[in-house]
Amino acid sequence: MRVNPERRRAWAPLAAILAAATLLTLIAVNLMTLAGISSSRPLIVHMRAVQTLLLQTRAALVDAETGRRGFLLLGERVYLEPLERAEKSLPVLLAELRGLHLDEPSRQRRIEELERLASAMLADVRQTVDLYEDGQRRAALATVRNGEAILDAARRLIGQLRDEEDQQLEQRTAAAVRNLEIAMWIDASAGLGLLVLGLLLYAINRDIARREALEAALRDSAKFQEQFVGILGHDLRNPLNAISVGADLLLRKETVAQDSHATLRRIASSAARMRRMVEQLLDLTRARLAGGIPVQPTPGTNLADVARGAVEELRVAHPEAQLTVHATAQISGEWDADRMAQVVSNLVGNAISHGAGGPVDVQVKGANGSAILEVHNGGAPIPEDLLPRIFDPFRQAMPATVAHGLGLGLFITRQIVLAHGGTIGVVSAQPEGTTFKVVLPSQRIQR
C-alpha cells in the first residue's frame, strides 16, 4: 500500500507529538520513582538504627548471662567484664531507642518495659555474683533460673520490636519496588523484554539440565558405593568366620605352644572386631538401600531382660567397667529382642569408651504406654557442635579419643529405634554427664 506524501507530512507532527509525550511521560515516571526512593531513605536509616540498637541490647544481655555462667563455673572475675560493659552500655542504648520513638507512645511503653527487664536482669546477675562471693553457691545457682526467665522475656520483647521494624521496612520496600518495577516496564520495550526473557529461559533450562545430570551422576555414584560396601561386607564374612573358627580350634588344642596362645587370642579378638565392623557395614547398606534396618518384633518381649542380658555380655568383655541396671518393673512390648540388645550394647559400649572409667547406669522404665531406656555416663560432655550430627554415619562421639570402630554404632542404633517406631535423643553437659534416652511404643508402629 502506497501512502500519499501529503498524508506522510501530516503524520510527521503527530508522530513528533506522540514521541515527545512518551518521552515526557517516561521522564515524569522516573522522577516520581526517584522521589519515592529518596523519601524512603530516612525511614530506612531510622529502621536500621533501631535494629542495630535492639541487637546491641540483646547482645549485651546475653553476654551478661554468659558471663554469669562462666563466673559460676570457674569463679574467675574476668567473666564479669560483660556484666560491667552491659551496665555501662545498656542505659545509653535504651536512651537512644527512646529518642528514636518520641512520637510513638506505644513504642515508648515497650521500651520502658525493656528497660525494666534489663535492669532486673543486671540486678539478678549482680545478686548471683554477690551470693557466690559470700560463699552461698547453691543460692547463687538458684538465681540462674530466674535470670533465664527475665532474659527470655527480654528476647521476646526485642523480637517483637524487631518484627515490627521489619514489617514497616518490608512495606516501604515493597512500595518502592512496585514503583520501580512500573518505571522499568514503562522504560523497557516489549521486544527487548521478550528477548531478555527468552535468553533467561534458555540459560535457566540449560542450567537445570546440567544440574539434573550432575545430581543423577551423584546419585548413581552414591548408590554404587553403598552397593559396593554391602557386597564387600557380605563377602568378607566367610573368610572372617574361617579365621575365627581356626583360631578357636587352635586355642582348644593342647599341642599348641603356650607362648602362641596370646597371639591366637589376639587373632580371635581382631577377627571378632572385624566381624562387628562387617555387620555394621551391612546394617548401613540395609538402612541406605533397603529403606531401613529390618526388624522382627515379637509380642511379649521383656525389655528389662534384654537390657540385663546385653549388660552381662559387656561385663564379661569389660570386667573393669562399673555397670548397673535399674529395672523395677516388667517392661513388655512388641520389639525385636536381638536388635534391642544391639541398641543396649551400642549405647553401653559407647558409655564405657567415653565415660572416663566412671559408672554406667542403665534404666528401663515405663511411662504413658511407652518404654523408656536411658544410658548415663559421666566424663567429658559431647562437644556442642557435634551433638546435632551425633547420629550421622561414620561419626565418632568424641573425636579426640582413639577410635575403636567405624563410627556407625549410634547411626545403627537410631535406625533400629526408628524401625520400632521410637525416638532417641541425647543430653550432654558438665557436670551432669551424658544421657542417651530411647522411647519405644509398646506396640509396633507401622512405618
Question: What pLDDT score does 425 carry?
Answer: 93
The domain at 213-289 falls in which architecture? Orthogonal Bundle (1.10)
Most confident of 183-187, 266-270, 433-437: 433-437
Q: Please name every residue paired with 325 in a beta bridge, in sequence order, or none if there are none.
A: 362
Reported as a single tens digit per residue, the pLDDT across 436-445 is 999 999 775 4
In 3D space, the residue among 435, 340, 426, 433 whose CA is nearest the CA of residue 390 turns out to be 426
Name the residue with cell 529518642.
99
CA 36/CA 32 separation, integer angstroms: 6
CA 403/CA 388 separation, integer angstroms: 20
CA 86/CA 128 separation, integer angstroms: 16
Q: Cis omega (within 30 of 0) on the bond before 294?
A: no
* Helical H segments across 290-382, by residue range: 303-317, 337-354
The region of weakest confidence among 58-67, 181-190, 308-317, 368-377 is 181-190
Question: What pLDDT score does 435 carry?
Answer: 94
Identity (one letter) of the amino acid at 216? A
Reported as a single tens digit per residue, the pLDDT across 357-394 is 889 999 999 888 889 999 999 888 888 888 888 888 76
Residue 374, judged by CB atoms within 10 A of its CB (0-12, 13-18, 19+), counts as middle
Looking at the domain that runs over 5-187, which CATH code has it been given? Answer: 1.20.120
Reported as a single tens digit per residue, the pLDDT across 72-99 is 888 888 888 888 888 888 888 888 888 8
Q: Which three cell numbers stand for residue 32?
A: 516520581
The domain at 298-441 falls in which architecture? 2-Layer Sandwich (3.30)
For the chain, how many residues are written?
447
Residue 2 predicted with pLDDT over 50: no
DSSP string, 199-261: HHHHHHHHHHHHHHHHHHHHHHHHHHHHHHHHHHHHHHHHHHHHHHHHHHHHHH-TTS-GGGH
Reported as a single tens digit per residue, the pLDDT across 262-319 is 676 667 656 655 666 666 566 666 555 556 677 788 898 999 999 998 899 888 778 8
Domain boundaries, the chain: 5-187, 213-289, 298-441
